Amino acid sequence: MSSAQSTARTRARVAAVLAGLLLAALPAAPAPASPATAAPEAAEAAASHRPTPPHVVGDKTVPVYSYADAIRESVWVETRADSDGDGVRDRVAVDMVRPREAAAAGVRVPVIMDASPYYHCCGRGNESERKTYDAAGVIAKAPLFYDNYFVPRGYAFAAVDLAGTARSTGCEDVGGPAEVGSAKAVVDWLNGRARAFTADGRPVSAAWSTGRVGMIGKSWDGSVANGVAATGVPGLATIVPISAISSWYDYMRYQGVLRSSDYPGYLHSYVNGRTDGACAEELARLRADSAEETGDYNGFWAQRDYRPAAGRVRASVFVAHGVNDLNVTTNQFARWWQELAEQGVPRKLWLYQAGHEDPFDVRRAEWVDSLHRWFDYWLQGLRNGVMDEPRVDLETAPGTWTTQRDWPAPGTRSVRVALGAGDGVTGTLGGRGARPGREQAYVDESLTEAELVAEPSTATAGRLVFLSGALSAPLRISGSPSVRLRIRVDRPTTELTARLVDYGTAERIRYDSSEGVRTLTTESCWGASTDADDACYRDTEEITAVSDHAVLTRGWLDAAHHRSLRFATPLRPDRWYTVTVPLNAYDAVLPAGHVLGLVLGQSDPEFTETDDRDATVRVDLGRSELILPLTGRAGLPSVDVAPRVVTAPADPSAARTARDTRQVP
């Protein structure tokens, strides 16, 4: 795709078409949108009595409206909450850009919306763009390319400051009802169900809107889109969550293990846009109700878990996620995807090898085209065939993409892999495994990941390693692995960690380095520009390197939460327990000749924070197993003695103490 600039059509031709539309009857007032499954049909039926708008040519929208002359306005939408307790309902700032010519002609347009806590504090996108305003306080520049590209094509763009951030009132409650409700209120306003006001207090309506809204956003922004979709709000036709959270508990707790202390309070303070003390009560509630001292899943977390409400989702869902995302881990998309699938929600998925990245910075031209067609279908009602294509785009190796019907890959089956004792230093994966009662023990050493997985054929205190034989054929893992362990522990609890490792030389994405993407000095442009807001962005490329091994996926469990995440069950030292450590979802093909490794450890200072250390864990190998989601007929070869695998040793300077692992989603 070449740089996406405005079409060369003359303004005179566009004006003539619009003048004709002015003579036509204006459309009826916007009504609540139909459920997503009927979205294009509903849009077609509603438009059947109207002329085709000038921004539609065939089955796609084209850039006919002036971006420079677009209407730019800021309004404050009233929500149902009073999250700061001042006796007045919260009002959220909504900065909008929409085509002036369409408004003059009475042509209603749908809305693409990015609701974010980051517009003031931190910026959006690879270049951390922030909103800017003119002297009257009206939006002059919105981050990202959405307005530049889509407004000339007959869309409005709305950049929403979530409650308690930037120019909005209220308090940020980090994934909770006030946050989600503040974005939902904007959808309601666009459908005539909520009130909004200008800066000087005048009521304002959205009569220019069709009522059809598509929410998009990366990380926290995409998490909000998931939350709003889970309310079932009419009018939300589609969402595009990128590297997004579907359960805030699973973001801040790993199966009962604390990711980092004071995480909700940290995120609240990071994005808080209110004056000092205005949200002190909300901050105190976040810290108290999150139950950091127990790690339990409680009512606070249930409010921030969108998955159980998948049955209420009316919107279609286009998910994008990096399989090596260590910030918002892959189970966030995988469990949400599964729930949506069970409810029959129309959906699409992009999976790529990078970490916490936007596909705009991974595969730019193809992403913009795919997003354009998706919005045209779900917001403009154009039958362009996007829903007839394979559901999943998947990057299988750096720069190598394929499509498939669904995810996990069709034909995936759960394969139980036995653990064997091997030579007493390195165990085995596959074959008959050890007999029940064959034990191995390891003592918590708080090893770094590099120490855990390097040199698997060498005895290292604080870990257990199990290796397959060299693969005789490529092995495809697609889905969510887990490890079922029969253990006895000499402490009331300990953290249990598990990692799957690909041992073998290959060129891989360096996702530990800038999430696997490098920013270049060249630029490409994606839409129209003004002096205040250009549509040009630095190009990017994937960062790759040849390495002799790579961690594929990880999993954590607080052993005392093995029965339920809602309460702890302290372990007795004289008892054996069966526990399951779920690993993050993954998709990978291990080449023939490589070796698959399973590495078990305990406290994990690079990823989690725990006070429960120094336990000894005994594992009954014969009653433990790895469960792999595999495709095709290939499996792990039978092996009695683990192959000798040599890797570069771990960096001896790696930190061995706990650190602050808090990130911003």
Pairing of strands 625-630, 495-509: unpaired
Residue at token pair 């796609």: 60
Amino acid code (one letter) for 178: A
Tokens of 241: 């969550």
Strand 91-98 and strand 109-116: the pairing is unpaired
Active-site residue flag, 66: no
Catalytic residue among 74, 83, 116, 219: 219
| Category of 251 on φ-ψ map: left (φ > 0), alpha (ψ -120 to 50) or beta | alpha
Q: Using alpha carbons only, what angle is made at residue 324 by residues 318 and 326, rounded to the nearest 5 degrees?
A: 100
Distance of alpha carbon 114 from alpha carbon 222, whole angstroms: 8
Across 569-660, the runs of DSSP E, i.e. the strands, are 577-582, 586-590, 595-601, 616-620, 625-630
Give, in order, the Cα–Cα distances in Å from 101 to each of 151, 217, 375, 637: 11, 27, 21, 66
DSSP alpha helix (H) spans, 315-425 = 331-342, 364-380
Question: Is 356 among the residues known to form the active site?
Answer: yes
Query: Using CA atoms, how far apart are residues 453 and 460, in angstroms rounded to an integer?
Result: 10
* Catalytically annotated residue among 356, 372, 549, 594: 356
Q: Which of 90, 325, 358, 444 is catalytic?
A: 325
d(CA 555, CA 250): 12
Exposure on the CB side of residue 520, measured as CA atoms within 13 A: 12
CA atoms within 13 A on the CB side of 190: 30
- Which of 531, 527, 438 has the alpha carbon at shortest distance from 486? 438
Instruction: Specify whether 219 is catalytic.
Output: yes
- Quote the CA–CA distance of 279 and 300 in Å, as a whole number: 18
Please check whether residue 69 is in contact with residue 152, taking contact to mean a CB–CB distance below 8 angstroms.
no
Rounded CA separation 662/439 (Å): 36
Alpha-carbon span 158 to 73, nearest angstrom: 10
| Catalytic residue IDs | 219, 325, 356
